Amino acid sequence: MLPLERTTSRRRFLGYVLGGTTLVAAADLVVASPASAAGVPTPPQVAEVYDLNDFITDAARPTANLVTVEVREDGTAHFALPRSENGQGIVTSTAMLIAEELDLPLDRVEVTLAPARPELLFNQLTGGSTTTTSTYTPVRVAAAVARMALLEAAAIVLGDTVELLKSKDGVITAPDGSSVTYAEVAARAAGGGTRAVEVELKDRSEFRMIGTARNRTDAREAVTGRKQYVTDLDVKGALPTMVCRAPTLNGTPVRLRNRRQVLRMDGVTHVAKVATGIAVRARTFGQCIDAIRAMDVEWADGPVAGQSDGDIVEELKALDPDLPPLPTNPLAEVVEEEFLFYFRSNSPMDTNAAIADVREDSAEIWNACKVPITAQETIAAELGLTPDKVVFHVVQGGGSFGRRLFFDAALEAARISKAMGKPVKLMWHRADDARAGRTHPMSTSRVRAVVAGGQVLAFQQGHTSVETDYRHGLGEILSATAADLPAGLGNMGFAQSIFAMTQELPYDFGAVAQTLLETDERFNTGSMRNIYSPDVRTANELVVDKIARRLDLDPLEMRLRFCRSDRVRGVLERAAEVGDWGRSMPAGTAQGIAIHKEYKGASACVAEIDCRPATVGRDVPRAVTGPRVTRVTFVIDAGLVVNPRGLEAQMQGGINDGIAQALTSSLHLRDGHFLEASWDNYFYTRQWNTPPEVRVVVMPSDSGQPGGAGEAGVAATMAAVACAYARATGRVPTYFPINHRDPLAFKPKPVVPPVPQSPTNGLKLTY
Amino acid sequence: MPRQTFVLNGKPVTVDVADDVRVLWVLRDLLGVTGPKYGCGINVCKACTSHVNGRAFNPCSVRVGDLAAGDEVTTIEGLPGQAGLDGDDLHPMQQAWIDRDVAQCGYCQPGQIMAAVALVRKVRREGRSISEADLDTIRNICRCGTYTRIREAIVQGAARM
C-alpha cells in the first residue's frame, strides 16, 4: 500500500505512476469533507449534515488510490470501474471524467467493469446513487497523473519543459510546433519505476468534456443487439439451467418424486436439489421449462404460508410507533393522515441470472452484481474455498432498481454447478423473478402535524415497514456479517442509519421528527430505487397539501413559504414556471406539485393528471389504464453535472417509476405467495400510461460537487402524482398504488407448476 | 432428431431440434443469435420482438416446427440487411435511437426497435403516418422507463424510413 499524504490545495493532488511496462496511474486521496450546519428554526436533520453519499464516499476513500487508469501503447486509456452498470450511465460519465483530465477524445477511453477486488474493501459497492460523488475526484486524479507522466516523457522527446507543452486530443505539442502522440510516449512514460507525481486538476472553467451532453458509449452496441448480458455470454459447457420453485414464498424442496422421468426428457442433462428448489440443466431454456412443468415435487411450506396482504397490514399497524407528544397549544389544530404502501417488485427486464463454473478447487462466476466482494466471499465460504480461488466477473446488467445489490442468482448458480459438477447458465423465469424476486417492502406511514396561527409547530412521521434487507452490508463480508446479526438487530441498525441519512424534510415545520420501525424478516426485500423516499415523501407532501388547505394557501405558495433550502426553492420556482403551475384545467383533471431533497441535490415536480371517466375507462387489452398522467415537468439540481443527457435520461426513467408506484404497480400477497407472475400481471408504467409530455430541466449550479442521479427522479414524481390525483378527485388517497384494491386485472397463473408454458400462437399475432 | 430449416437474417439455417422448441431458444441457445432477449417467455413483455416475413412477431411463442423452410426470420442483427444496407450500417430507426440516446440498460431496446419498424410499416399500409395514439399501443416494456425518448425516436426514424 502506498503512503497517504495530504493534498496541497483544493485542486492539487498527489498521485503515483506505478512502475511497469504500461503506463498505470493512481490517485492518492485524502480529502476532508466539510460538514456544514446552519442555525435554522428546525434543528438540522442527520441527512442535512451527513448523508448517505457522504457515508459511502468516506467509506470508499481509504482505498481510492487502488483505482488506476492505464494508458496503452496505442494511446488509448483504459479503466476498470469498480462499480456495476445497469443502465444508469456511469460507464459513460466515468469515461468523460478520464477524457477530460487526459485530454483525450471520448472514443479513445475504454471503461470496463472490474471483477471482485477484495482489497477495495468498501470501494466496490454500487448503491445510493453515489458512484459519481465517490469517484469524481479519484478517477480524475488518476487520469491527471497519467497525463503528467506523458507530458514528462514528451518533454524529453521534444527537448522542452513540461510547463510549456500543451496536450490536446491525445497529442502533445511544444511551442515550436513539434509534437508527439500519446502512443509515441506511452512506453517511455511507464518506465522509471514507481514515483509520486503532483498534479493540479482542471478548474471548472477549463472543462471541455464535463458538463457537455454526450450519448452513452455503448449506444451502438445496444441498438445492434451486440451488447451482452449474462445470458448472452458463451461460456464453454454452461448449458441453460432453471429452478423449479415452491408454491409458497421461500418454501423448500423435500424431494423430486419423478427424477428418472425428468432426466429422460428431451434435452435434459442434469437434475439437482438445492436449497431453493429443484434445478434442471438442458440444451435449451425451453426444455428446462418443459422439465420444470413435468416435475412432481414434495415441498415444505415457506414462512408466510397461508398469509395475505391483510395479515401483513395488521402486523404493521399493530406495531405503529408512538409518535412523540405534541406541543400543547389550545389554539392548535392537528392534521393527521395514515398511508399504506403495498409490496412492489424491482423487476428488471433482465431476470436474475448467473453463470457458474465450480470445480473442485476453484470457481468462476459471471453475474451483474453491485456487491461483488460480498458475493465472492460468500460464495467462497459456501463452496469451502478461499476467496482468491473464486473469480467473480461483474457483467453489465439489464436494469437493477436495487435488485443487484444482492447476488441470489450467483449463489444459487454456484450451488447448482457444484451439485451437478458442470458449468451452468442459470436464468430465473420471469414468474420466479416476479414471485420470489426481491421487493420493496410493504410499509405504513403515519404523519401528524400541529398547525396554529398560520404556522406549523410540529411535524411528525412514523414510518413502519416490513424489513428492508441490508445484508449486503457495505459491499464486503465484514459489514454484511454485521448486518446479519441475530434477530434482525444488525439489519435494524443499518436500516435506521440509512433512513436517517436519506430523509430530510426541507420545510420549517418546527419540531420535526421522522422515525423508522422495521419488522418481519420473512420476505425477499431490498433497497428498491430511492429506498424509503418515494413513500416517505408521498406521505409528507399529501399532508403538506392538507395543511395548505387549512391555511388557505395554494400548494406552491405553501411550499415556498415554509421552504428552508435555497436549492429546493430554486427548483420549486423553476418547476412552477416551466410547468405552468396554476393554469386553468377542466374538472376531473389537476396539477400536483412536490419536492425532494437527497443525493446532494434537490428536485421538484409538477404533474398533471386526467381522472375523467373517459380517460380512466379507456380500453387497452390486458392492461391497467386508470388515470393518465398527461404532463410532467421535472426540475433537478444535481450540483455539478457530468453528463446532462444522461441525467435527463435518469429523470425520465424515475418519472415512470414514480407514476407506476403511485398508480398501477404492486404485488398482491395471497395465501402465501405473490399472485403476479409476469408482465401484464405486474403493471409497471407502459406506453399507454406514460405522459405524452415530459420536460426535464437541469438547473445550472456553481457547486463543485456532483450529486446522485440514478434514483433522484422517483420521489418527487410519485408525490406530485399523488397530490395531483387528490386535487383532481377531491379524495386524498390513503394507499398506494391507488388501484391495489380494485378487482384483479389479470387471471393469476398457477403456482404448481410454478412457470407458465410458452404459447404457440405467435404466428397468428404478427403485425 | 427433426431437422429444422428456415431463413435467418438472409441466410438459410438448419438446426437439429424437436418441433416444439420455441424459436427464441433456437435462436439464442442453439444458434447463438442473442439480440432477441428473454423477458417473460409468454409473449407479453415483447423483449424478443423480431420479424417473420417482414412482420413483427415474438419468437418465444412460435414452435420452430411451425416455421416453413422459406420463412424469413429477421432479428435485430439482420435489420440493416433487411433494408438493403451493409453489415456495419444502421437502419434509420437504429440511427434515430442513437441520435436520441434512447437506451439506458439497453436490454429491451432490440425488441423496441424491431417493434417500432413494424409499427411504422403497419400504419403506412393503413395509409397513415404515426400518431400519439399509435405510440400508446406499443406493448414493449422498458423497465428503465425510456418511453419518452422511444416516442421521439420512432417519429424521427419513421421520417427517414
What would the grid cell of residue A553 be?
394557501
Q: Largest Cα–Cα distance in chain A?
A: 84
CA distance B143 to B140: 10
CA distance A659 to A469: 24
Q: Predicted confidence band at A329 (pLDDT cuts at 50, 70, 90)? A: confident
pLDDT level of residue A75 (50, 70, 90 thresholds): very high
- Residue A62 pLDDT level (bands cut at 50, 70, 90): low
User: What does the pLDDT look like over A163-200, one tens digit per residue?
Assistant: 999 999 999 999 999 999 999 999 999 887 788 888 99
Q: Do A283 and B30 touch (CB under 8 A)?
A: yes
Instruction: Look at residue A5 and tell me whether its pLDDT is greater than 90.
Output: no
Q: Alpha carbon A397 to chain centroid distance?
A: 12
Q: Round the CA-based radius of gyration of chain B to a whole number and report it.
A: 15
Rounded to a whole number, what is the distance in angstroms from the first to the last CA of chain B? 42
pLDDT top residue among A1 and A559: A559
Compute the mean pLDDT over every residue in chain A, rounded to the nearest whole number.
Answer: 91
Q: What is the nearest CA distance from B129 to chain A, expressed in angstroms?
A: 16
| A172 inside domain | yes
Pair A373, A450 in one domain: no
User: Is position A311 within any domain?
Assistant: no
Residue A42 pLDDT: 56
Given B30, B42, B53, which is nearest A678 (Cβ)?
A: B42
CB neighbour class for A39 (10 Å; exposed up to 12, middle 13-18, buried from 19) = exposed
Residues A480/A471, Cβ–Cβ less than 8 Å = yes
Query: What local confidence, expressed as pLDDT, does residue A486 receive?
Result: 65
A649 neighbourhood in chain B, CB within 8 Å: 101, 104, 146, 149
Closest-CA distance, B160 to chain A, in angstroms, reads 17
Contact B108 A766 (CB under 8 A): no
Closest CA to A190 of A13, A23, A315, A78: A23
Looking at the partner chain, which of B45, B52, B105 has a beta carbon nearest the beta carbon of A399?
A: B105
- Residue B59 to chain A, least CA–CA distance (Å): 7
**Burial of B31 per CB tally in 10 Å (0-12, 13-18, 19+):** middle
Residue B23 has pLDDT above 60, yes or no: yes
B72-74, strands of its sheet edge to edge: B11-16, B3-8, B72-74, B50-52, B55-57
- Identify all chain B residues contacting A618, using CB atoms and an 8 Å cutoff: none
Both A368 and A443 in a single domain?
A: no
**Structural domain contains residue A215:** no
What pLDDT shows up at residue B111?
Answer: 98
Q: Among A113, A290, A684, A687, pick the best mutation site for testing chain B contact (most B Cβ within 10 A).
A: A687
Query: Helix (H) and strand (E) counts for chain B?
Result: 6, 5
**Residue A140 identity:** R
Per-residue pLDDT, A35 = 33
* pLDDT beyond 60 at A77: yes
**Which uninterrupted H or E stretch holds A165?**
none
CA distance, residue A270 to nearest chain B CA (Å): 17
Mean pLDDT of A111-125: 84
| Residue B53: predicted pLDDT | 98
> CB-based contact (8 Å) between A746 and chain B?
no
Domain co-membership, A597 together with A661: yes
Q: Are residues A253 and A273 in the same domain?
A: yes
Cβ contacts (< 8 Å) between B57 and chain A: which residues? 762-763, 765-766
d(CA A404, CA A86): 9
**What span, in angstroms and rounded, lies between the C-alpha atoms of B107 and B56?**
18
What global pTM score does this model have? 0.95
Question: Which of B8, B107, B152 should we substitute to test contact with A (largest number of A Cβ atoms within 10 Å)?
Answer: B107
- In this structure, are residues A606 and A632 in contact, taking their beta carbons and an 8 Å threshold? yes
**Confidence (pLDDT) at A37:** 34
C-alpha angle B146-B148-B153 in degrees, rounded to nearest 5: 90
Please answer yes or no on whether B38 and A231 come within 8 Å at the CB atom.
Answer: yes
Chain A CA closest to residue B71: A763
* Residue A34 reports pLDDT greater than 60: no
Whether the complex's predicted ipTM is more than 0.95 is answered with yes
pLDDT at A52 > cutoff 60: yes
Q: What is the pLDDT of residues A725-744, one digit of tens each?
A: 999 999 999 999 999 999 99
Which pLDDT does position A600 carry in this prediction?
86
Same domain? A370 vs A501: no
User: Residue with C-alpha cell 419423478?
Assistant: A258
Same structural domain, A635 and A615: yes
SS3 of A310, please?
helix
Whether the pLDDT of residue A21 is over 90: the answer is no
Confidence of residue A324 (pLDDT cuts 50, 70, 90): confident
Q: Tell me, rounded to whole angstroms, the distance of Cα B131 from its chain centroid.
A: 21
Q: At what angle do helices B147-160 and A644-659 cross, to 10 degrees?
A: 120
Contact of A15 with A138, CB cutoff 8 Å: no
Whole-number pLDDT of residue A478: 67
Ranking A18-27, A94-103, A629-638 by mean pLDDT, the lowest is A18-27
CA distances from A256 to A250, A263, A296, A423, A549 (A): 17, 11, 6, 22, 62
> CA quadruple A579, A582, A588, A592: dihedral positive or negative?
positive
B138, closest residue in chain A (CA to CA): A687
| pLDDT (average), residues A749-754 | 98
User: Which of A224, A242, A686, A764 should be substituted to probe chain B, the one whose Cβ sees the most B Cβ atoms within 10 Å?
Assistant: A224
Shortest CB distance from A399 goes to which of B28, B137, B143? B143
Which chain A residues contact residue B98 at CB under 8 A? 215, 219-220, 223
Within 8 A of B101 by CB-CB distance, chain A residues are 215-216, 219, 645-646, 649
What pLDDT score was predicted for residue B72? 98
Residue A146 has pLDDT above 50, yes or no: yes
pLDDT at A475: 72
Nearest CA in chain A to B23: A286
- Asked if pLDDT for residue A680 goes beyond 80, the answer is yes
Please judge whether A398 and B107 are an interchain contact, meaning their C-beta atoms are less than 8 angstroms apart: yes
Q: Which residue has the cell 434537490?
A: A602
Residues A442 and A336 grouped into a single domain = yes
From chain B, the residues in CB contact with A291 under 8 A are: none
A652 and B110 within 8 Å at the Cβ level: the answer is no
Confirm whether A312 is domain-assigned. Answer: no
Q: Could you report the per-residue pLDDT of A566-585, keeping only the tens digit for each?
A: 999 999 999 999 999 999 99
In terms of domains, do A257 and A133 share one?
no
Query: How far away is chain B from the Cα of A285, in angstroms, using its nearest Cα?
Result: 6
More confident residue, A64 or A574: A574
- Do A766 and B56 make contact, defined as CB atoms within 8 angstroms? yes
Residue ranges covered by each domain of chain B? 3-81, 83-160
Helix, coil or strand: residue B26: helix
Please give the C-alpha separations between residue A660 and each of A30, A410, A665, in angstroms, as whole numbers. Answer: 42, 29, 5
Residues A298 and A399 in one domain: yes
Q: Kindly report the nearest CA distance between residue B38 and chain A, in angstroms.
A: 8
Q: Both A362 and A415 in a single domain?
A: yes
Put simply, the answer to whether B103 touches A218 (Cβ < 8 Å) is yes
Nearest CB to A216: which of B32, B101, B113?
B101
Q: What is the pLDDT of residue A488?
A: 66
CATH number (1.10.150.120, 3.40.50.410, 3.40.50.720, 3.40.50.150) of B83-160 reads 1.10.150.120
Region A681-710 average pLDDT: 94
pLDDT of residue A592: 98
Indicate the pLDDT class of residue A49, thresholds 50, 70 and 90. Answer: low
For the B3-81 domain, the top CATH level (class) is alpha beta
Work out the average pLDDT over A110-130. 83
Interchain contact, A687 vs B143, CB within 8 Å: no
C-alpha cell at B120: 411504422
Mean pLDDT in residue range A324-332? 77
Give the pLDDT score at A7.
42
Residue-wise pLDDT for A291-306, tens only, equals 999 999 999 999 999 9
Please name the residue that has the C-alpha cell 443502465: A87
User: What percent of chain A has pLDDT above 70?
Assistant: 93
* pLDDT in the model for residue A61: 65
| Same domain flag for A451 and A546 | yes
Q: In B, which residues are within 8 Å of A765 by CB distance?
A: 43, 57-58, 61
Q: Which of B29, B41, B145 sits opposite A685 (nearest CB)?
A: B145
pLDDT of A38 strictly over 60 = no
Chain A from 378 to 407: CB within 8 A of any B CB: 396-401
* A240 to chain B: closest CA residue: B29
A731 and A643 housed in the same domain: yes
pLDDT above 90 covers a percentage of chain A that reads 76
- Interface touch A694/B36, C-beta < 8 Å: no
Q: Is the pLDDT of residue A142 over 70?
A: yes
- Kindly report the nearest CA distance between residue B7 and chain A, in angstroms: 16
Q: Is A745 domain-assigned?
A: no
Pairing of β A455-466 and β A443-452: antiparallel
From the CA of B28, how many Å to the nearest CA of chain A?
A: 8
Residues of A in contact with B52 (CB under 8 A): 763, 766
Secondary structure (3-state) at A257? coil
Q: What is the per-residue pLDDT for A132?
A: 86
**Distance, in angstroms, between B55 CA and closest chain A CA?**
5
Interface of A with B in 225-244 (CB under 8 A): 225-229, 231-232, 234, 240
Cβ neighbours of B34 in A, within 8 Å: 225, 228, 231-232
CA distance, residue A84 to nearest chain B CA (Å): 11
Task: Please tell me which residue of chain A has the smallest CA distance to B107.
Answer: A398
**CATH number reported for the structural domain that contains residue A367 in this entry:** 3.30.365.10
Contact B106 A652 (CB under 8 A): no
**Quick one: pLDDT band at residue A715, thresholds 50, 70, 90?**
very high
With beta carbons less than 8 A apart as the criterion, state whether A605 and A716 touch: yes
Residue A77: domain span: 12-33+40-206
> Per the structure, how many domains does chain A have?
3
Q: How far apart are CA B142 and CA B109, in angstroms?
A: 8
CB contact under 8 A, B28 and A348: no
CA A315 to chain B, closest CA, distance in angstroms equals 31
pLDDT tens by residue, B42-87: 999 999 999 999 999 999 999 999 999 999 999 999 999 998 998 7
Q: Is the pLDDT of residue A612 over 90?
A: yes
pLDDT in tens, A469-511: 988 877 766 677 777 766 666 777 778 888 888 888 999 999 8
Interface mutation vs chain B, best among A106, A404, A758, most B CBs within 10 Å: A758
Q: Contact at 8 Å (CB) between A489 and A499? A: no
- Cβ of A225 within 8 Å of Cβ of B34? The answer is yes
Flag if A221 and B75 touch (Cβ within 8 Å): no
Tens digit of each residue's pLDDT (9 = 90 or more) over A366-403: 999 999 999 999 999 999 999 999 999 999 999 999 99
